[in-house]
Structure formats: C-alpha cells, structure tokens
Structure 1
Amino acid sequence: MNTSRRRQLQREHQPDNIARRLAMPPRPERLSDMVLGGIDGCITTFAIAAGAFGAGFSPLVVLVMGMANLLADGISMAVSNYEAVNAQQRFVENARRTEEEHIHLVPEGEREEVRQIYARKGFSGESLEQIVDKVTANRGLWIDTMLSEEYGLSRVAPNPLASAWWTFVAFIVVGVIPLLPFLVPGLAFSQQFIVSSLLAGLVFFAIGLLKGWVYRSSLLRAGLTTFLLGGCAAAVAFIVGHLVQQAFGGLG
C-alpha cells in the first residue's frame, strides 16, 4: 500500500471521522439497479441490431425494432425489478413483525438467541452477559440485531420505486447507444453495424470497469468479464438471425 493511501485511511479512521461516518444513515445501493438496467438495455438493442444484420434486414427495421423494444423492455425491466424489490421489502417487514411478536411473547427465548449469537462470535462470561443486556435493553436495537444476525437482512429498507426508476433510466440511456449509428444516413448498413458493435463493446467494458472500481476489484478483469458476457449474448442473436435467413431465404 502506498504512503498516500495509508495517510488517507489514517485520516478516515480518526475518532471524529469515524463517529461522523457511523452517524450517517446507511444509503441504499443503487449500483446494482443501474448495472442491471444498463447491461440489459445494451444487450437488448445490440442483440436486435446483430440479429437484424445477420438476417439481412434494413437499417430502418433495426431502428423500429430497437426503439420499440427499448421502451417496452425498459418498462418490463422496471416493473420486474419493482416487484422483486417490493417482495424483498415485504419479507423484511414480515420478519420485523415476527421478531416483535417473539420478543413480546417469549422474551427469554429471544434473549437466549442473542446470547448464542454473540457466543458464536467468541464472547463469553460476564462480557457476553453485558452484551446481551445492552442489546435487549433497547427494543429497536434488539429487533435490528435479530434481523441482521438471524435473517441476514440489511437495516436499509429497500425502495421498490427507486430501484425501478434507476433500472429504467439506465436501461434507456445505455440501451440507446448501440442504435445511434443507425441514425446516421451517410453510412452503409455494414458500417453502421461495425460502429454499433464498437460502441456496444465499449459500453460493456465501461460497465465492467465501473463495477471493478466500486468494488475495488481488478478493473481489467471486471471490464473483460462484462465485455465477454455481453458479446456472447449479441453473438447468439447474430447467429440465430443468420440461420433463420439461411433457412427461409431473404427475409428483408
């Protein structure tokens, strides 16, 4: 680790900075929603372009199909993500109600659960009993502890509308990129497809770099992995379109 990075970490871990950071409410993670929407949007529109090019369709068909699917699939993705996150939210709410009921009906049993949770973490004797007393003295902390330790749930309540919105925005913004070359009238269809392929590849690689940067993993590996996954999906679309064209003749 270089010296500047070490000094930065030392500043971040000063008592005042730690207290300030821990006092801030946790923020919901939106990166996964945006990555989901962005990758799916780019794959959707570029797969249409690749399939249409392989089947011998015209650029106009690519634009019509691409734009129609961009909006329809964007809405579908947003609705699907909304339903998934909403189901997760209901699960968290049900788990919270369950723990509230258990604490009300069998408080000693719930105290024993807390005791065993922290015993598994290595605490014992008087220290363990002090932790149990502290946790169970605050009902909100008690419930949050059970949700985190027993169910593995985050304290941050998921927001279905926000997740759906960011998925839709990323889907539309990123998904339109592979269609842009087909709006340029001066290019031949083959040239438009080549430029679209380059743009799609750059988008896949950039999304991978973003994931690698956020999660502090290998940037090159993250970029190449996302690039290859997106490229494979587009290649399948191209092959299917080409095979259909070969099987049934000129479908333009």
Structure 2
Amino acid sequence: MAKDFSLVPTAFTEERSSDGRATTIRQMVFGMNDGLVATVGLVTGLIFSGSSRTVILAATLAAIIAAVSSMALGSFLATKTEVEYLKAQIQQESRELEEDPEQELDEMRQIYRRYGFLDAETEILLARLKADKTLWLQLMLRDELGILPESFENPWSNAGWMALAVALGSLPPLLPIMLGSQPKEALIWVIGLSALTAFGLGGVTATVTANRWWRAGISFLLVATIAALIGMGAGTLIAPLLSSH
C-alpha cells in the first residue's frame, strides 16, 4: 500500500514546522550548556591546580574535541534510533491494517467515541477511512500512536547543530586563557565570560518556553556556578598532590 504522507492539511503542516525550530533551539541550548559547564569546570580546576597556560590549553582543547565528537555522535545515534523505531511502528500499523482491517477499524471507532463523536458521526468517519487507506493510516498513526511522520527529526542535522553548539559553548571559558599569559590573572575573565554566557543562554530558552528571561538566565547561571565551584574544589585538592611530586 502506498504510504503518502503529503495529505496532511497545509495549516497543520505549517504549525508543525515550528517544531523544527524548537528542535534546533533545543540542540543548541543543550549543546552550549554542556560545553560551557564542562569547560568552565575543567579550566577553573586546572587553574587552581597550578597548571601552566600550555597545559590548560592542551588539556582543554583535547577535552573540547572529545566532547564535540561524543555529543554529536550521541545526538546522531539517538535521533537515528528514534526515527527507525517510529518507522518500524508505521510498518507494523500498515501490516495490521492490511491483515485485520476490522480490528483496526474498531480501534479507530473507540478513539473517536472517546473524542466525543456520536455513533452516527463515527460511522461516517469510518466509512471515509475505508475509502481512503492512506488517510486511514495517517489518522491511525496520529490518533492511536501519536506519530507524525512529517515531524521526524534529521539525524545529520541534529548532529551538526549539536557539534556547533558544544564548540561555541566551550569557547567563553577558554578565550581568556588563549588571549592571556598568566592563568590566575585570567581567572576573573574566565568566570565573568562564563557567567555572562550562561545567563544569556538561559535568556534564549525563554523564547521557546513560558519562563521569564531573567529566571531562565539565573537558573543556567546557577548550574555554571556549581560546575565552576566543583572544578575549583577539585583543583584545590589536586594541587597539593601535584606539588608533592
């Protein structure tokens, strides 16, 4: 049976297109936050351990490359697995529709009754579905399983946005070290730029949520602060061990 999903109403498709923007924002926010938090913790920890500028740059750049690769690959695999699972669900529903149409028709009948349609109205809808199996399959996917094929995410796109986001989020804590000479002198700039980035990143999330921008900014700032404090604490504990050698 042909599976043409192009019959979704135009208005509905346009409304769903906003999900693509939401997905991109989600990838960017998640990736930038991960890159920022991990890097600020690492850089501050290395500074407090007394590491040289060269060691900090080398260790942090290696960590960023590993994080970019890991997060991008993870995003790709997660999205690909989800899409494959949903496609398998579509194939299963298609087979069930062909093999036992009466059972599938009864399932749709129960769904429409739960929606509040009268029996006569439900039977009119079912008669329309029996005359158009492509439409029938579409509505089964949407109303029974909550699957919308036109909203499937692209694994390559998600991986690309994630890689870019992690790399961008990792830069603010590292820039002061790259541009400065003494790590401890650059510490205030590391913390300042990281805090500003975290607050701004939180504010961006307010564009797709109902949160106030300043509340979202503060919540992200708190997370980055906790990461920095953990890094500083770890560096303080590690420093004596390094100096003893």
Q: Which TM class, normalised by the smaller chain length?
A: 0.7 to 0.9
Q: Could you tell me which of 79, 97, 104 is aligned with 2:98? A: 104
Compared with structure 1, are the counterparts of its residues 67 and 91 closer, same or farther at alpha carbon in structure 2 (3 Å cutoff)?
same
- What is the TM-score when the length of structure 1 is the normalising length? 0.83
Which residues in structure 2 correspond to 1:62-81 (within 5 Å)?
62-81=56-75
Match of 1:142?
A: 136
Which structure 1 residue ranges, 4+ long, deviate > 6 Å from structure 2?
none
Report the aligned-residue RMSD: 2.2
* Count of residues paired in the alignment: 232
- For residues 211 and 58 of structure 1, the distance between their equivalents in structure 2, rounded to whole angstroms, comes to 36
* Contact 1:47 1:237 (C-alpha < 8 Å) held by counterparts: yes
Query: Which residue matches 1:180?
Result: 175
Matched, 1:113 2:111: no
Cα shift at 1:208: 1.2
Return the TM-score normalized by structure 2.
0.85
For residue 250 of structure 1, give the secondary structure of its aligned residue in structure 2. Answer: helix
The reply to whether residue 229 of structure 1 matches residue 229 of structure 2 is no
CA distance in 1, matches of 2:34, 2:47: 20
- 1:176-219 deviations in whole A, cap 9, x for unaligned? 12111112235x42331111111111111111111111223221
Look up the SS of the partner of 1:214 in the other structure.
coil
8 A contact 1:57–1:251 mirrored in 2 = no
- Paired residues for 1:147-226 under 5 Å: 147-155=141-149, 156-185=151-180, 188-226=182-220
Q: Is the 8 A contact 2:38 2:227 kept in 1?
A: no
Structure 1 gaps, min length 5: 1-18
* 96-105 or 109-118: bigger deviation: 109-118
Alignment deviations for residues 133-161 of structure 1 (CA, whole Å, 9 cap, x no partner): 33454333332323333333333122111
Q: Which runs of 5+ in 2 are unaligned?
A: 1-8
Equivalent pairs: percent with the same residue?
Answer: 26
SS at match of 1:176: helix
